[in-house]
């Protein structure tokens, strides 16, 4: 699973341009699914047809990552940028980004070495080695993502885009291990989550699931001076109770919790006071869908070095595989 996470996190895939990630995932699951298709928003929908008598289950993880979009290029070839998704200015200084065409840039700041304050967006620029507008290797509207290699610290893994390639890896691994299931399992690798869960919205409408889950990262409260949240890295996947945009369906929540208790899989309960996931969009589709979320604890979310614990991911796979092999009663 570590190799899969390395491959997925090192791929380029800002919201709206998830093609590289999608191609990688397609290659890894083609042999184990019944049907594979891509819809008009770029969502990759993988159906593993059940043996019958089960439910239509949708499980979503998003392929897209946050990025910087070129808004303006000045006479000297410096790029001014806006954000695609929740990029935080303090995570940027001195970091590197990479564009779809391979162009690498250094993130600079007008007040470099002259201030210890957090940079303002309008003071941030990207240096791609150009010396004039004419030799800039990118254009207005091009998008760059963080450029950092994957690293392994024992069970702890660090990379950009763990949000939510680690969720994609869980979904891939689940499909590989699932085997026989009564349910029609729709694994949906969604697009444009970071700009407002747009891919999940349309894919859920099309699939019309009877039960749904989103697999995404959540914050932890185990680093110095963290905002209180009862989620620790390495203590198991977290069953979401609530976040800012979502209250889990009680039946789906209990389904996950009962399963984890019964199988002896470590889990946590999550109440996140910020953010939301694809679960919100799926839940509000059509006349409403019973939806829950299984979260992967992660530190430094939306930074170039997001950290997860592979044991939490393995726990999530184990729980999903076991639950999907049994009948679902909510
Ligand atoms: Co995110
Ligand atoms: Zn996410």
Strands (E), the chain: 35-38, 44-48, 56-62, 67-73, 79-84, 96-99, 104-109, 124-127, 143-146, 151-153, 156-159, 184-190, 211-218, 238-243, 246-247, 268-271, 291-297, 306-309
- CA-nearest of 324, 83, 33 to 183 is 324
pLDDT tens-digit series, residues 149-183: 999 999 999 999 999 999 999 999 999 999 999 99
C-alpha 227 – ligand 1 centre gap (Å): 18
pLDDT tens-digit series, residues 198-208: 999 999 999 99
C-alpha 163 – ligand 1 centre gap (Å): 5
Ligand nearest to the CA of 301: 1
pLDDT tens-digit series, residues 43-73: 999 999 999 999 999 999 999 999 999 999 9
- CA-nearest of 237, 249, 243 to 210 is 249
> Is a pLDDT exceeding 90 seen at residue 143?
yes
Ligand nearest to the CA of 67: 1
Place of tokens 């240096």: 127
| Encoded tokens for 316 | 């999530």
For 25-42, what is the mean pLDDT? 97
> Is a pLDDT exceeding 90 seen at residue 128?
yes
pLDDT tens-digit series, residues 307-316: 999 999 999 9
| Encoded tokens for 299 | 């530190």
Ligand nearest to the CA of 190: 2
Q: Treating both helix axes as pointing N-terminal to C-terminal, what angle do 250-263 and 310-324 enclose, rounded to 10 degrees?
A: 110
pLDDT tens-digit series, residues 185-241: 999 999 999 999 999 999 999 999 999 999 999 999 999 999 889 999 999 999 999
C-alpha 216 – ligand 2 centre gap (Å): 5
Query: What is the DSSP secondary-structure string of 24-50?
Result: HHHHHHGGG-SEEEE-TT--EEEEE--
pLDDT tens-digit series, residues 75-126: 999 999 999 999 999 999 999 999 999 999 999 999 998 988 889 999 999 9
C-alpha 132 – ligand 2 centre gap (Å): 37
Residues marked as catalytic: 193
Contact between residue 47 and residue 65 where contact means Cβ atoms under 8 Å apart: no
- CA-nearest of 206, 201, 197, 279 to 238 is 279
pLDDT tens-digit series, residues 234-285: 999 999 999 999 999 999 999 999 999 999 999 999 999 989 999 999 999 9
Sequence-distant (6+) residues with CB within 8 A of 328 are 54, 55, 57, 183, 211, 255
Instruction: Give residue 209's pLDDT.
Output: 98
Contact between residue 61 and residue 216 where contact means Cβ atoms under 8 Å apart: yes
Pairing of strands 56-62, 211-218: parallel
Q: Is the dihedral of CA 200, 64, 188, 293 positive or negative?
A: negative
C-alpha 75 – ligand 2 centre gap (Å): 36
C-alpha 301 – ligand 1 centre gap (Å): 7
Ligand nearest to the CA of 295: 2
CA 18 to CA 307: how far, in whole Å?
22
C-alpha 21 – ligand 2 centre gap (Å): 15
C-alpha 179 – ligand 1 centre gap (Å): 30
> Strand, helix or coil at 105?
strand
Q: Which helix (H) or strand (E) holds 175?
A: helix 162-178
Instruction: Give residue 118's pLDDT.
Output: 87
What is the pTM (predicted TM-score) of this model?
0.97
| Structural domains of the chain in order of their starting residue, each with its CATH number | 2-65+160-324 (3.40.630.10), 67-146 (2.40.30.40)
Q: Which helix (H) or strand (E) holds 69?
A: strand 67-73
């Amino acid at each position: 699973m570590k190799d899969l996470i390395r491959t997925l996190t090192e791929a380029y895939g800002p919201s709206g341009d998830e093609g590289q990630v999608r191609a990688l995932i397609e290659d890894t699951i083609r042999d184990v699914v019944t049907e594979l298709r891509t819809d008009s928003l770029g969502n990759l929908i993988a159906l593993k047809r059940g043996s019958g008598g089960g439910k239509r289950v949708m499980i979503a993880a998003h392929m897209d990552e946050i990025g910087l979009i070129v808004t303006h290029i000045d006479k000297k070839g410096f790029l001014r940028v806006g954000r695609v998704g929740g990029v935080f200015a303090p995570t940027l200084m001195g970091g590197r980004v990479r564009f779809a065409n391979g162009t690498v840039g250094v993130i600079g700041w007008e007040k470099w070495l002259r201030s210890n304050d957090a940079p303002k967006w309008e003071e941030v620029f990207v240096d791609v080695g150009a010396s004039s507008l004419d030799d800039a290797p990118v254009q207005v509207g091009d998008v760059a993502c963080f450029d950092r290699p994957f690293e392994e610290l024992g069970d702890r893994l660090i990379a950009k885009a763990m949000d939510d390639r680690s969720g994609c890896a869980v979904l891939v691994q689940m499909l590989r291990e699932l085997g026989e299931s009564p349910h029609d399992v729709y694994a949906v690798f969604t697009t444009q989550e970071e700009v407002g869960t747009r891919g999940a919205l349309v894919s859920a409408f099309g699939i019309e699931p009877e039960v749904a889950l989103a697999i995404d990262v959540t914050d932890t409260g185990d680093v110095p001076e963290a905002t209180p949240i009862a989620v620790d890295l390495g203590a198991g996947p977290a069953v979401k109770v609530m976040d800012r945009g979502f209250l889990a369906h009680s039946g789906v929540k209990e389904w996950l919790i009962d399963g984890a208790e019964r199988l002896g899989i470590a889990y946590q309960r999550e109440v996140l006071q910020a953010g939301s996931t694809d679960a919100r969009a799926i839940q509000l589709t059509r006349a409403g869908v019973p939806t829950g979320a299984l979260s992967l604890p992660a530190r430094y979310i939306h930074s170039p070095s997001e950290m997860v614990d592979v044991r939490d991911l393995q726990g999530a796979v184990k729980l999903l595989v076991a639950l999907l092999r049994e009948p679902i009663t909510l």
